[in-house]
Structure 1
Amino acid sequence: MAEVPTFGERAIEIIPIHFDVPEHYLPLKTFIETAAQAEAIIAAFNEHLFDGALAYQILVLPPEIGSFKTRLAVAATACGLLWGALESDIGAGFVKGLTGFPPDHWAEVAGHQMAEWIGDAMAPTPAIQERMECQTGALIVSEATKSFLQKDISELNKIGIRPRQFREEFEARNKFYEACSADRNVKGIGFSDSNEFPIKRSDFGRLHVALPPKEKVLEEVPWHVATDTVTVTSPNWERGDQQRQWKGRDSSGHDRLFRIEDEDFWRLVAHQSLKPHIFDTMKVQWAFHSEGGRVKDTRVLRVLAYNESTLATPLDRNALDAILGRHNDLGDRSGGSESDLFGRLS
């Protein structure tokens, strides 16, 4: 088993992109374009497979002597509702179809990779569990990306990965092989540390597929607005962090990922005027989209209360109209009734 590098508390998985070139160098344009398109595929798979739950950075690691190998690393920092997406029939099916193994297999591999880091721990602590989930997510998205870059369109069609539904991934793959084809010195591509290049130059055209026209959005999707009480299970006090969201449990017991856009709240944070607990409770006014009964894109517009402190009153309809445009007001959901938010949106 290859050694897994670690960078602080981030779980790391490497994607080697090995170029078969006569000299041990590559034009900057080819390097940048192929790395950028690999990153685009990773981002698209994070949305399609995990509903965007994996927070990560793409790192470039030093090349190895004697070859030209781009070594990209998926460095996961948080995994949000990762397992909820993987445990669905669709998510598990895509993972098995792309990588050849179900999510449980990759969780086991991640456990072996992290054995030294876990050490003699008798039971999984929350930190170990979080790190395990992040390592599994980084591993799956890396394996899915490598497989997608190599599979023929007929193989992908069989597992339900088609250009219309996965347009972003196919568009990035097309650009990846266009960059390889434009560099006449690139004779082949491999996605492992070995000196094997299964994708020959003659395959670049075969792996480039025709894309359907982009679908036009006929109608703006309305925002839903509600007031609810949230128990925060994983805060993020770095306001500028665009990768990792806040995580909490709403009054109906559902896990939610969200961003806080309330300027007054962040001003209080900057002045250290809040009193955080181990598990904080917030009453919020938030807006979100729903798709197929799933809540997504949650934005906290106003933090109404934080633990024992009342902070603000809800935004009125005029303010909501100015921020969101068309929206539906679902009222106060903090009671967590049986006919909860998710039931109403199903």
Structure 2
Amino acid sequence: ESWLEQIMFEIEENYWPTQPDSLSGSDLLERNPEETNPAQKADDTGKTERIYRSTLPETPKEKDYDVVIVTCCGDGEENLREMIRDFRRTLPCSTRVINLREFPFGGGCLGCLSCAVTGKCVYKDGFDTYLREEIQSGDAIVYAFSIENHYAHSTMKEYDDRQFCNGHRTVTQGSPVAYLISGDYSRERNLQMVVEARSEVGGNYLAGVATDEGDTAGAIQALADHLIFALEHKACRPMNFYGVGGTKIFRDLIYTMQGLMKADHKFYKEHGIYDDFPQKNRGTIWKMKLVGGLLAVPAVQEKMKGQLSGVIVEPYRKVIAGEESGAQAEEQRDNQK
């Protein structure tokens, strides 16, 4: 027991991180007013809450885009409401706000797989039609929510589940997405992964995430600028591990379950998602068998020693050479002008 007490004492004295700003409400009141952030207040537990007020000016709506803001903003979420207001002000195009709390959901996804065959949800609340005609019809989708229990309000989760009426089809592929999030997003590693992976697997360009953790107005302005840039230039980026891995998982799943997932199977065939099956590369497979047989010979092994790395990077050399020649041609055109 004395040994344990000594260990705990050492931890508290030498290793336990101090939090000088985590003061109680009375402590905050006793501090110098000039040292207290006027954009913060303390709740009953002593936790400081960031207060954001809309500050960005109104921007003329000169761009012909339809941006849909999907939110689950409720009473008491002033920060999120002000963030949405600022975002709509500074975005130079029309926006529509859809509050999921106002939709009469009949319930969550039942997992009945009725939509897998017909493409229609078994619920009669009209959500599948509403989703396709009111939300997915926009040029871009912006999700806005406050962090609750490491995610969002339950209506956002219900919205996610009910989107299974689209099966595993990337129906919004090519359209950008963005997020307005109120809360400690920088500490929510799992939520960050969900945000990135959803856009990657869905084939959507992630224009960014604006939060109220720091310079909220600056983050909102940057997000609006980036979203408009993505719309104007049809921005896209190569898939990362989430996108490639997720797509292949769904590809293999739908190919195996094509008898049941008929709508998904038809979509995957029409969009060439099955085209990268490694089983179809019969020529490459036989070439590798030949190379493997040759490398089994000791004399060939000795001759090929040190050359394998050059073979591996050869495709990248071609790409780099092409980029360099393109840059040189562009430079010559500029010089001629």
Normalized against structure 2, the TM-score is what?
0.24
Higher strand share: 1
Higher helix share: 2
Highest Rg: 1 or 2? 2
Normalized against structure 1, the TM-score is what?
0.23
Bigger relative contact order, structure 1 or 2 (CA pairs below 8 A, ≥6 apart): 1
